[in-house]
Structure 1
Amino acid sequence: MALALLAGGGYGAYSLWGGDAEEDDPQLTAARKPLAAFLAAWEKHDAKGAAGHTDTPDNAASLLTSVLTNLKPSRTTIVNDSGEKEGDGKVRFPFSVAMEVPGAGKVTWRSRAQVNRISGTWKVAFTSPMIHPELKPGQTLALKADDTRAKVLDSQGRPLRAASLVGTVDPVSGKGTSGLEARYDKVLSGGRKAGKSLVVADRQSGLALKNLGAAGSAEGRPVRTTIDSRIQTAAADAVAETDHNAALVAIDPRNGHILAAVNRPGGLNRALEGRYPPGSTFKVVTTAALLKSGTRPADGAACPKFAHVNGQRFENQGQFSLPAGSTFTDVFAQSCNTYFVNARSRLADTDLRDAAQAFGIGGSWDVGTTTYDGSVPVTTSDNDKAAATIGQARVQTSPLVMASIAATVKHGAFSQPVLVPDAVKKKYTAPAELDAQVAGQLRELMRATVTSGSARALRELPGHPHAKTGTAEFGTGKPPRTHAWMIGYQGDSDLAWAVLLEDGGSGGADAGPVAARFLRNLAR
C-alpha cells in the first residue's frame, strides 16, 4: 500500500534522564554527554541539532527529518538508562521513546545507541535501527490510515460507485459526513474513531512495509444496497448529456428494490429526497380515481384549448386541442390538461388522496435512507381540486415516488421501495389496493402514450416500454417555468423508472430523450 507521507512538524518536549547516579566511571560519563545532547535535540524535534552529535550528521539529519515530518509528533519524551561498556572506546545506552502523534495517539518503543570515541572525541554512532529497531537503511517511520472502515456496496457486493448515494467521509476525523457514509457511520466504522497506524515505510516509494501497531478496535461492517451497477451506469450516462439538474430513479416492480438513483450534479439527493410538483405524470393517479368511478378508456372525451374554473384559466401545453370524437385513451396519451380539469366534478375532495394511497404516496417509507414519500392532500376548493388533477397545487412527489407509481402499475400492487434491505425494519403497506381492472387499463393507457402519444421518444425502442409524460409548472414567473418529467416501465422486464429535469422544459420533448438514452444504454 503506497503512503502519502505527511508533512509538517511539532514542538514542545521534555526528557527524564536516568542512571546518572551509577556513572562514577569517567568513560561512561564522557560517553553520556553527546548521547544526552543528541536525545535532547531529538526531543525538541531539532533534527539538524541532534545530527550534529553523530558520526554521520547528514545521514542522521535526513532520517530524523523524515521521521519527524511524517509523524508530526506534538510531544516527544525520551528516557535513557545506564550505559554499558562494549570495549575500549565503545559504550551502549538503552533508551525509550514516547511520542504523542496526532491520529495515532501515544506510540512508544525501546532502542539502543552506541557511542564511540573517535580521535579522542565521543560521537553517537548513527544507524537506522538506532532510531527504531525495526528500521533498515532506506526506510523510515510513517503513518498509514487505518483501513478498518468498511465500504458501501452494490447488489453484487462490489464498492458502490454512486457519489450522491454513498456520500462523503471527513478526511481528518474519518467520520461519515453525508449520504450513506453518514447514516451508517457506526456500522461502517465499527463504532470507533478513525485512526492511523505507525508503520515502517520505504523512503523512496512510500510503500508500507510493516505495521508497528494499530488501535485495537473492531473493523466496520459493509452496508449492502440494492443498486445494480449496470443499471446505475446506464442511468448516469443517460443524464450526463443534459445541462439541467437531473435525477433518474429505477426500481424493480416486484420488490421495490432501487436499482439506480442518479443525481446530476451531485450534492442534493434529488432522486430520493427532492420535492417537486409532478405535473401530468400524476395523471396516472387521477386516472386511477376516474377509472374506479366508472370512466372507461373508450369513452368520448372533449379536449378544448382552455378550461376555466372560477376565473382561473387552465390550458394544454402549446394550447393544443383534440378533435371531436376523441376518447379517454386519446386525452391520456396526449396529456390533455383541460379534460382532467373539467373531470374534477366526478371526484370527491378525498378521491385523489385515496387513489394516491394505493400507490403508497403519503406513507412513511422505511427505505434504509432518507426519502421524501410524497403528499396528496384532501382538496379544499374547486380550484385546488382542478390543479391537483394535473399534478399541480399542493401535490408534491419525488422522483422515487414517481418511479414507484410506474412500478405499481406494472406490478399491480404497491411494493415499498428499498435501498438497504438489512436496515429495513418494517416496509410500509399501502392502506388501499389498486383495483386489478384499473391496473390493467392503466397499462393499456401508458402503452398508448408511447405508441400514439406524448412519449413517442420511446416508440422505436425495444422492451415494450410504457410511459407517461409530465410538464410541471413551478415558481411565479410569467409564463411559468417548468420541470420536465417522464415515468414508465418496461413491458418485458422488471424495470420501472422516472426521469426529472429541473427547469427542464417539456416532458415529452426534453425528459423523453433522456429516458430513451437510458433504455438504449440498457439494451446494449
Structure 2
Amino acid sequence: MRTGAKIATGVIGAAIVGAAGLGAYNLVDAVAEGTSGAHSEAAPVRTGPLTPEETEKAASDFLAAWAAGNTQKAGGLTDNAEAATAALTGYREDAHVEKVAFKQGTADGAKVPFSVTAEVSYAKQRSTWTYASSLTVVRGRSSGRPLVGWQAGVVHPRLAAGQTLKTDTTGTPKVTVVDREGKELTAADHPSLAFVLPELAKRFGEKAGGERGVEVRAVGGAVAPGAAAEPLHVVSQGKPGTLRTTLSAAVQRAAEAAVSRHDDASVVAVKPSTGEILAVANAKKTEFNAALSGQTAPGSTMKVVTSALLLEQGKASPGKPLPCPKNATYGMTFHNVEQSENPRATFAQDFAASCNTAFISLAGQLADDALAAEARDVFGLGLDWKAGIPTFDGRVPTDGGAGKAAAMIGQGRVQMSPLAMASVAATVRNGSFRQPYLVDPALDGRTLARAPRALSPAAARDLRSMMRLTATSGTGAKAMSGLGGDIGAKTGSAEVDNQTAPNGWFTAYRDDVAAAAVVPRGGHGGDSAGPVVAAVLRAG
C-alpha cells in the first residue's frame, strides 16, 4: 500500500511537470489517469475539427451555466475566462437581468444560434426582453477542449469590442409644460421658448410628477461619434409630468409678434401683484435669453429708481421747479438725448420729458451709495432672484463723481435686463417689490428674494402720477395711445460706445401687467421699444 502511494504521487508530479502549458483540462485528465497505474501517461491534446456533438455540448454547457447564474463556471467554458466572467457578471449586475433563459438552436458548423429571454428588473420597473444571439465554438489552443470563442457579441449581437450592457434611467423625465391656464406651451407655437421649455423640463421634470424612462444601452468601448443612438431595450417609457408655469399663452403670442417686427428686440411681462412672469420673447432665437439674462445700460428708464430715491429723500417733488438746461456738469459734462430743455420745468415735467441734465443737477445732494441702496432695498435689484431658470436681476454699483451722475440716468456701470426693468415698473405699480418667477416656488421649495422695505406710500403715489404723465403727454404718449385703465410709462435711450444709434428702452404698466422692452440700436425708446411694450400690455 505504501509503495503504491509513493508511485501514484510520483506520477501526479510527473503529470504536473509534463502538462505545463497544456491547460487545466489535460492536467485533470493526467491526474485521473495517473491513479490507475504507474505506467500511465498524459492524454494527448485533442486536435482536428470539432464534431457536431462537441459543438452542441460546449454551447449547451455554457448556456446552462449562464442561465444558472454561475458566471465563473460559464466563463471557464470560454477561451477567455476573465473577460467572459466579467461580462456575464455585468449582465446580471449592471444590466440588471434578474433571470435569463435560453433556447439553443441548430448549429451551423461551429456557430450555434440561441434565443434569449431576459427578465430585467430596475427599481420598480420590470420587463421581459427577448432577442437572438449566437456563439461560435472553438477548440482550445493549448487544451484542445471545445470552448466558446469569447466576444462581446455573445451577450448581445449589437455589442462591439469592449462594450457592455447597462440598464439605467434616461436623462430627464418627459414633461408637458403648460401656461397658467393649463394650455400646452410648445416651441412651435412660441419660438422664444425653444430653449426655455427644455430647461424647465430638466429642472422640474421629476417634481412635476414625471418619471424617467428606463433603458438598456451599450456602454464603453470605442464607439463612433453619433453611434450610441437607440437603446437596445426599453424597460419603461417613463411617465410624463405636467409643469404649470406662470406664463400666459395669449400674452406670450402678443410678445412674440411684437419682437418679430425687429431684427433684435426683447420683452418681458410680469404681474405686479405677484411677480409672476407672463411672457418672455426675443427676436433672436438663440440659446442666450436676452429678455431674462441680458446685461445692458437701461438709459432713462433707470430714472424711475432715481426718482424714487429723490422723492423719498425729499430732494425733489412732482410740482417743485427743477430747470432742464442743455448741459449739466458733475465730474463731466452731460447733455440731453431728448429735446427737453425747459428753464421753467418742474420735476414731474423733467421726468415726463426725460431730461438728463435736471437729474444730473441733483447728483451732488446724494451720497455715493444712495442709488445702489435704493435699487436693492426697495426695488430688489441684485438680490439673487430665483425665478426657476437663470436670470439677471440687475446691477447698480456704488460709484462717485461722474460715475454716480451717469448711474442716475441709467448709464455708466448700471446694467439691467428687460426682466429687471419690467420688475421696476411693477414695483411702482404695486408699491412694493415682488420677485419675478416663472415656476411656483412651492414646487421645489425655492425662497424668493424679498426687498428689505416697500416704497414709501407718498413716493409711490408721486411716482405713479409722474409715470402716468409720461404715458399720457410725455415721451411715452405715442406708444401708450389708446390704452385705458391705470397706466404709467418711462422711456429710455441708452448710449453705447462705438454704436451709431442708442438702444431704445421702454418700461410701463397697465393695471396688473407691467412690461419692459429693449431694441438694440433702436434709437428713441418711445418709438422703438414703446410699441413692443404697448402690444404686450394690450394682450394682458
- Relative to the length of structure 2, the TM-score reads 0.63
C-alpha separation between the residues in 1 aligned to 2:56 and 2:476?
Answer: 94
Tell me the equivalent position of 1:471.
493
Tell me the alpha carbon deviations over residues 460-483 of structure 1, each in whole angstroms, 9 at most, x when there is no partner: 323342100011112344xx5411
CA distance in 2: counterparts of 1:190 and 1:150, whole angstroms: 6
User: Counterparts of 2:255 and 2:302 in 1: how far apart (Å)?
Assistant: 22
Q: Does 1:149 align with 2:167?
A: no
Indicate conservation of the 8 Å contact 2:298/2:416, yes or no: yes
Q: Does 1:271 align with 2:291?
A: yes
**What one-letter code is carried by the residue in structure 2 that aligns with 1:433?**
A
1:146 touches 1:194 (CA, 8 Å); kept in 2? no
CA contact (8 A) 1:20 1:82 kept: no
Give me the whole-angstrom Cα distance separating, in 2, the residues matched to 1:193 and 1:18.
Answer: 44
Deviation per CA, 1:338-373: give whole Å up to 9, x if none: 101111112111210121120001111121110111
**Superposed CA RMSD:** 3.4
Q: Does 1:429 align with 2:425?
A: no
Q: Report the Cα distance in structure 2 between the residues aligned to 1:148 and 1:389, rounded to whole angstroms.
A: 47
Name the residue aligned to 1:484: 504
Tell me how far apart the structure 2 counterparts of residues 418 and 168 of structure 1 sit (CA, whole Å).
Answer: 13
CA gap 1:195/1:505 in 2 versus in 1, 3 angstroms = farther
CA deviation profile, 1:264-319 (whole Å, cap 9, x unmatched): 11222111111111110000000011111212100011111111233x2211115x
Q: Relative to structure 1, is the Cα distance of residues 82 and 146 closer, same or farther in structure 2, using a 3 angstrom cutoff?
A: farther
TM-fit CA distance, 1:82: 6.5
Indicate if the aligned counterparts of 2:336 and 2:356 stay in contact, CA closer than 8 A.
yes
CA contact (8 A) 1:251 1:407 kept: yes
Residue number in structure 2 paired with 1:439: 460
Deviations 1:168-199 (A, max 9, x none): 89xxxxxx5xx3244446657957467599xx
Q: Which residue identity does 2:519 align to in structure 1?
A: L
SS at match of 2:175: coil
Task: Give 3-state SS (helix, strand or coil) of 2:495's partner.
Answer: strand
Cα offset, 1:21, TM superposition: 6.3
Residue in structure 2 matching 1:409, options 418, 428, 431: 428
- Which 5+ residue runs of structure 1 have no aligned equivalent? 1-16, 23-77, 84-93, 100-104, 112-144, 170-175, 198-211
| Gap regions ≥5 residues in structure 2 | 1-51, 58-101, 108-112, 119-126, 134-169, 218-231
Q: Which residue of 2 aligns with 1:71?
A: none
Identify the match of residue 352 of structure 1 among 371, 381, 400.
371
Report the AA paired with residue 506 of structure 1.
H
Matching residue's letter, 2:410:
G
Q: Distance in 1 between matches of 2:305 and 2:171?
A: 51
Per-residue displacement from partner, 1:230-279 (whole Å, max 9, x unpaired)?
11111111112122x11111111111000111111122211111111111
Please name the residue that 2:337 is paired with: 317
**2:481 counterpart letter in structure 1:** R
Offset, 1:377: 1.2
Residues 1:232 and 2:252 are matched in the alignment: yes
Q: Distance in 2 between matches of 1:466 and 1:403?
A: 12
Listed as ranges, the matches of 1:67-466 within 5 Å are: 80-81=104-105, 96=115, 107-109=129-131, 149-161=174-186, 162-165=190-193, 167=195, 179-184=199-204, 192=212, 214-216=234-236, 218-243=238-263, 245-267=264-286, 268-294=288-314, 295-310=316-331, 312-318=332-338, 320-357=339-376, 358-379=378-399, 381-421=400-440, 422-456=443-477, 457-466=479-488
Q: 1:486–1:498: 8 Å Cα contact kept in structure 2?
A: yes
User: Could you give the per-residue CA deviations for residues 412-470 of structure 1, whole angstroms, max 9, x where no partner exists?
Assistant: 11011111112352111102321111001000000000111100121332334210001
Alpha-carbon separation, structure 2, partners of 1:415 and 1:515: 20
Match for residue 529 of structure 2? 511
Give the aligned residue type for 1:256: G
1:149 and 1:189 in contact (8 A); partners too? no
TM-score (norm 1): 0.65
Q: Residues 424 and 365 from structure 1, CA distance in 2 versus in 1: closer, same or farther, beyond 3 angstroms?
A: farther
Deviations 1:79-133 (A, max 9, x none): 64479xxxxxxxxxx962689xxxxx9952589xxxxxxxxxxxxxxxxxxxxxx
Contact 2:179 2:247 in 1 (8 A): yes
The answer for the alignment partner of 1:31 in structure 2 is: none
**Equivalent residues of 1:190, 1:217 under 8 A apart:** no
Distance 1:150 1:448 in 2: 45
Q: Distance in 2 between matches of 1:514 and 1:190?
A: 36
Closer, same or farther: CA 505–106 of 1 in aligned 2, 3 Å: farther
Distance in 1 of aligned mates of 2:354 and 2:173:
54
Whether the aligned pair in 2 keeps the contact of 1:18 and 1:79 (CA below 8 Å) is no
| Alpha carbons of structure 1 residues 107 and 475: separation in structure 2 relative to 1, 3 Å | farther
8 A Cα contact 1:277 1:391, kept in partner = yes
Q: Name the CA distance, whole Å, in 1 between partners of 2:382 and 2:310.
A: 20
The answer to whether the 8 A contact 2:330-2:363 is kept is: no
Following superposition, the deviation at residue 322 of structure 1 comes to: 3.0
Q: Provide the rounded CA distance (Å) in 1 between the counterparts of 2:430 and 2:207.
A: 34
Superposed displacement of residue 149, structure 1 = 1.4
Q: Which amino acid aligns with 2:450?
A: T
C-alpha offsets along residues 481-518 of structure 1, whole Å, 9 cap, x if unaligned? Answer: 4111110101xx31111111122211112112222333
313 and 517 in structure 1: CA distance in 2 versus 1, 3 angstrom threshold: same
